[in-house]
Amino acid sequence: MSAVVNGAGKVVDFVDQRITASNWLKRNIRKAFPDHWSFLLGEIALFSFIVLLLSGTFLAFWFKPSMTEVMYDGAYTNLRGIHMSEAFSSTLELSFEVRGGLLMRQIHHWAALLFLAAMSVHMLRIFFTGAFRKPRELNWLIGATMLILGVVNGFTGYSLPDDLLSGTGMRIIEGGILAIPFVGPHVSSFLFGGEYPGDDFISRLYIIHVLLVPGLILALVTAHLMILWYQKHTHWAGPGRSERNVVGYPFFPIYVAKSGGFFFIVFAVTTLMSAAVQINPVWLWGPYDPARVSAGTQPDWYVGFLDGALRVMPAWEINIFGQPLSLGVLIPALILPGIILTPLLIYPWLEQWVTGDWREHHVLDRPRNQPVRTGIGVAFITFYLLLWIAGGNDFVATIFDIPINWITWFMRIAVIVLPPIMFFVTKRICLGLQRRDREKVLHGRESGVIMVSPEGEYSELHAPLSHEAAYEVTAHRRQTPVRLDPETDENGIPAPRRRIEKVRARLSSFYFGDVVQKPTVHELEAAHHDGHGDGHGDGHGDGHGPAPAALDRGEPEPPGERSEIGTGPQP
């Protein structure tokens, strides 16, 4: 032990004398990181990215990004004598003539699927807990950008082996590019170096895949982590956990061991999946030939929703200036991603503007306490999932024995109808949970013990909540809609930007108009005076107790004047 300390001491001394390292170490080595499983989702993404860099470097030693045609004469006999690109034949070489090559190919591909899946669930966690709020908007933006870059890199990598499956995907991309008005054919010609498919695109995709996009992701990951480190991690509400502190385990040694260990687990899961489950067997797909296709042609999962959108979109083409405008392709392939991504990227600012909440937030929201935001998130997931299923409609058709045309028609209607329904249902569930929380605080939890009064009335005994539990469900801030200033001030001068403020007020009451407020002190006292078990539990109170009406109705104070921040630990 002492040898370790001595050794470390010498290194620290050397570095410190040159770059004052101890100063930084002193402030950072015990950085507190809160414990919660959902805080580790981003780490899965980070660690898969490292696995991708390692395995990708290995693959690059053998892979030849060339579309030069060769006659295959390698170890895989079923394809011997067939003409194919060098890219495809070197992929076969990697799989069948390099020991561990197939393992690395499979690790790389599984890690890519996990990387994107982990980024997605991480982003959902950030969204549903409100961790994107001030001061973390920048990291939200960086994260969303990395998700987009990840999809780009996934797709370029999927295309590199030049197999029949991915080649068909590239053809579909070309079809999407051609749909761009005015310049579609030009963009396609520049991208493919002439006519589709040409013999350039593999080498062009290669440099994008191995240098350009990974470089950008690496830079953004660095910024993402530095900002996270500087701002300190968010945490859940709880005793002693407030907006002004962070409670967790010290980075060194606990999180060095836990995160370091988790890296190995992520690497291990990827490796074990690659040992046991085959992925992308390109030798079965065969080399790409634009005149051939196979049933069950699908992109990897993260592009699936776009393919699904292409499948469910009805045919629609209009003529402008005598030229075709393929809205049936343009909308799902180019406009839909824009419609999804723009609100996604700017959501933190959108919500800030609507709610007028510009304060810093370090304590996470429980999703139920933001019914509208949670509803929006679930509606989006529904929309995405439906398009995703539509992208595999031929599999759904064969596995569940449903005519594919019915599935397409169902999806056409469902992508429009189901998300609003899911929004409404989710919001009602959130409000119900809020009401239950409020009930528990006011009257305790149901104990299951039934009492009979002398009058013969049955009632259930309610056990009071512990102080800690009660604090946890009431630690969130009260939410109030933005109040509209009067039309004119006292001098009769009209308020500026009245119309936009009206929109804002309406949106704000859409967000917070019907949230169930936590009880006030007066309500709590009143409930305790009344005894347990006779509360009405409608979430709005009905005037029992001596509280002033405004407070009693759970109607909070104007923003900025109420208690913003938990009182913090009492010394």
Contacts (CB under 8 A) with other proteins, residues 335-394: 359-360, 362, 392-394
Task: Report the residue number, 447 or 474, with the smaller CB distance to other proteins.
Answer: 474
The three-state (H, E, C) secondary structure of 1-55, written as one string: CHHHHHHHHHHHHHHHHHHCHHHHHHHHCCCEECCCHHHHHHHHHHHHHHHHHHH
Going by C-alpha positions, the residue among 312, 315, 330 that lies closest to residue 412 is 312
- DSSP reduced 3-state for 451: strand
- Which residue from 239, 337, 356, 432 is in contact with other proteins, where contact means CB under 8 A? 239
| Per-residue CA distances from 132 to 45, 146, 235, 352, 365 (Å) | 18, 15, 13, 10, 11
Question: Which window, 109-117, 141-149, 450-458, 487-495, contacts other proteins (CB under 8 A)?
Answer: 109-117
Task: Report the residue number, 144 or 309, with the smaller CB distance to other proteins.
Answer: 309
| Backbone φ and ψ of 203, nearest 5° | -70, -30
- Which residue from 108, 241, 366, 440 is in contact with other proteins, where contact means CB under 8 A? 241
Read off the DSSP letter of residue 483.
P
- Which residue from 2, 6, 323, 491 is in contact with other proteins, where contact means CB under 8 A? 323
Going by C-alpha positions, the residue among 106, 101, 110 that lies closest to residue 74 is 101
- Which residue from 66, 70, 137, 198 is in contact with other proteins, where contact means CB under 8 A? 198
Q: Looking only at residues 256 through 285 of this chain, which bind other proteins when binding is defined by CB under 8 A?
A: 257-258, 260-281, 284-285
Q: How far is the CB of 229 from other proteins (least distance, A)?
A: 12
Question: Which window, 369-377, 456-464, 467-475, 528-536, contacts other proteins (CB under 8 A)?
Answer: 467-475
Q: How far is the CB of 434 from other proteins (least distance, A)?
A: 14
Residue 47 pairs in a beta bridge with none
Q: At what angle do helices 137-159 and 301-312 cross, to 10 degrees?
A: 80
**Amino acid of residue 202:** I
Q: Looking only at residues 523 through 562 of this chain, which bind other proteins when binding is defined by CB under 8 A?
A: 523-524, 551, 557, 560-562
Question: Which window, 144-152, 237-245, 372-380, 417-425, contacts other proteins (CB under 8 A)?
Answer: 237-245
- DSSP reduced 3-state for 539: coil
Q: Looking only at residues 415 through 454 of this chain, which bind other proteins when binding is defined by CB under 8 A?
A: 441
- DSSP reduced 3-state for 239: coil
| Per-residue CA distances from 48 to 35, 104, 509, 543 (Å) | 21, 13, 42, 56
First to last CA, the chain: 35
- Which residue from 133, 209, 224, 311 is in contact with other proteins, where contact means CB under 8 A? 311
| Backbone φ and ψ of 450, nearest 5° | -100, 130
Q: How far is the CB of 510 from other proteins (least distance, A)?
A: 26
| Backbone φ and ψ of 298, nearest 5° | -135, 150
Q: Where are the alpha helices (DSSP H) in 444-474?
A: 467-474
| Backbone φ and ψ of 73, nearest 5° | -140, 35
Question: Which window, 80-88, 209-217, 449-457, 537-545, contacts other proteins (CB under 8 A)?
Answer: 80-88
Question: Which window, 52-60, 236-244, 344-352, 508-516, contacts other proteins (CB under 8 A)?
Answer: 236-244
Question: Which window, 56-64, 427-435, 469-477, 497-505, contacts other proteins (CB under 8 A)?
Answer: 469-477
Q: How far is the CB of 90 from other proteins (least distance, A)?
A: 16
Task: Report the residue number, 409 or 424, with the smaller CB distance to other proteins.
Answer: 409
- Which residue from 297, 352, 447, 459 is in contact with other proteins, where contact means CB under 8 A? 297
Task: Report the residue number, 264 or 424, with the smaller CB distance to other proteins.
Answer: 264
| Backbone φ and ψ of 364, nearest 5° | -75, 150
Q: Does 403 bind other proteins (CB under 8 A)?
A: yes
Q: Looking only at residues 157 through 186 of this chain, which bind other proteins when binding is defined by CB under 8 A?
A: 164-165, 168, 171-172, 174-176, 178-186
Q: Does 9 bind other proteins (CB under 8 A)?
A: no
- Which residue from 13, 317, 489, 538 is in contact with other proteins, where contact means CB under 8 A? 317
Q: How far apart, in whole angstroms, are the C-alpha atoms of residue 568 and residue 571?
A: 9
Task: Report the residue number, 70 or 216, with the smaller CB distance to other proteins.
Answer: 70
- Which residue from 95, 355, 374, 426 is in contact with other proteins, where contact means CB under 8 A? 95
Q: Which are the contacts of 144, defined by CB distance < 8 A and separation ≥ 6?
A: 123, 341, 344, 345
* Binding-residue total with other proteins (CB under 8 A): 188
Read off the DSSP letter of residue 161.
T
Q: Looking only at residues 18 through 77 of this chain, which bind other proteins when binding is defined by CB under 8 A?
A: 25-32, 35-41, 43-44, 67, 69, 75-77
Q: Provide the phi-psi class of 404: left if phi over 0, else alpha when psi is between -120 and 50, else beta.
A: alpha
- Which residue from 49, 110, 347, 380 is in contact with other proteins, where contact means CB under 8 A? 110
- Which residue from 15, 254, 340, 345 is in contact with other proteins, where contact means CB under 8 A? 254
Residue recorded with tokens 């699927």: 113
